């Protein structure tokens, strides 16, 4: 039998220290009973709930990374370039959910939970991703309408998007545009602007669903909290039921 805090930490949702805090705070239930005793021994088949959410005992881990520029979003690179996996100290075989280009920065989730990764990426689940693009020039009202309604890239129209011009700079002749999409096609944002004659000079993913980059400098990462994981699961489940 294993100690409760160890089993919780091994599930990947939090550290052992934080697991101890959660136990003491009465947020942990084992087989239907709230357990506040540290070191409580659990059976291998016990059901453990943290904040009301069943933990997965297969050691699932979930990270949010603020990806820097100049790093590839694959698990290995044939050209020997640095990958996002090199940035995270984790012995488990984790992989990124979706891709960000070599020169794109910002929010990226990494996990070893394959089913969760597939669901997060599937366009039918409509997980919003917010990008901030610096482009050359100024969007016209009809360009904004086109981006919102969908642009044909690689022969297929993109889904509806939300678009907001955050800033225009007359001196450098550039604009900062916020665009929210839920698909994840290859180079999608760059291609959408390209189709309308604009070049994306800089691209950052600012948000995935409700997860933003608060507290994470470039190259920094953190584990998702049990609450965040269950909120993402809830989003996915709601979308699936529709
Ligand atoms: N769209 C792009 O063009 N590039 C990215 O990295 C992400 C979305």
CATH number of 2-54: 3.10.290.10
What is the total residue count of the chain? 242
With a 6 A CB cut-off, is 192 part of the ligand 1 pocket?
A: no
43 phi and psi angles, rounded to 5 deg? -75, 155
Pick the atom of ligand 1 nearest to 190's CA: 3
Burial class (CB in 10 A: 0-12, 13-18, 19+), 44: exposed
Segments of the chain assigned to CATH 3.30.70.1560: 128-208
CATH superfamily assigned to domain 128-208? Alpha-L RNA-binding motif (3.30.70.1560)
Residue 104, C-beta contacts closer than 8 angstroms, at least 6 positions apart: 67, 69, 203, 204, 205
CA of 49 to the centre of ligand 1 (A): 37
* 143: annotated active-site residue: no
Buried b / exposed e along 115-131 (16+ C-beta atoms within 10 A): ebbebbebeebbbebbb
With a 6 A CB cut-off, is 104 part of the ligand 1 pocket?
A: yes
57 phi and psi angles, rounded to 5 deg? -85, 10
Segments of the chain assigned to CATH 3.10.290.10: 2-54
CA of 179 to the centre of ligand 1 (A): 11
Q: For residue range 135-172, what is the model confidence (pLDDT) as tens digits?
A: 999 999 999 999 999 999 999 999 999 999 999 999 99
Q: In this structure, which topology does domain 62-123+211-241 adopt according to CATH?
A: Alpha-Beta Plaits (3.30.70)
Q: For residue range 68-106, what is the model confidence (pLDDT) as tens digits?
A: 999 999 888 888 899 999 999 998 889 999 999 999 999
Segments of the chain assigned to CATH 3.30.70.580: 62-123+211-241
Q: pTM (2 decimals)?
A: 0.78
Active-site residue identified among 21, 51, 59, 101: 101
With a 6 A CB cut-off, is 132 part of the ligand 1 pocket?
A: no
CA of 133 to the centre of ligand 1 (A): 10
- In this prediction, residue 114 carries a pLDDT of 84
């Amino acid at each position: 039998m294993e100690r409760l805090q160890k089993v919780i930490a091994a599930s990947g949702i939090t550290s052992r220290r934080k697991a101890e805090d959660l136990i003491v705070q009465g947020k942990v239930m084992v087989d239907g009973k709230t357990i506040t005793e540290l070191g409580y021994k659990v059976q291998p088949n016990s059901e453990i709930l943290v904040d009301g959410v069943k933990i997965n005992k297969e050691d699932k881990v979930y990270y949010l990374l603020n990806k820097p520029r100049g790093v590839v979003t694959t698990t290995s690179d044939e050209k020997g370039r640095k990958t996002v996996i090199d940035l995270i100290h984790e012995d488990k075989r984790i992989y990124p959910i979706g891709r960000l280009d070599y020169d794109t920065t910002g929010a990226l989730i990494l996990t070893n939970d394959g089913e969760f990764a597939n669901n997060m990426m599937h366009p039918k689940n409509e997980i919003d991703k917010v990008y901030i693009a610096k482009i050359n020039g100024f969007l016209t009202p009809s360009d904004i309408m086109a981006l919102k309604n969908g642009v044909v890239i690689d022969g297929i129209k993109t889904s509806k998007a939300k678009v907001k011009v955050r800033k225009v700079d007359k001196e450098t002749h550039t604009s900062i545009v916020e665009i929210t999409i839920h698909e994840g096609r290859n180079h999608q944002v760059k291609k959408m602007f390209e189709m309308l004659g604009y070049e994306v000079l800089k691209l950052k993913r600012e948000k995935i669903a409700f997860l933003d980059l608060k507290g994470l400098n470039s190259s920094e990462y953190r584990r998702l909290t049990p609450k965040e994981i269950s909120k993402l699961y809830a989003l996915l489940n709601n979308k699936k039921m529709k």
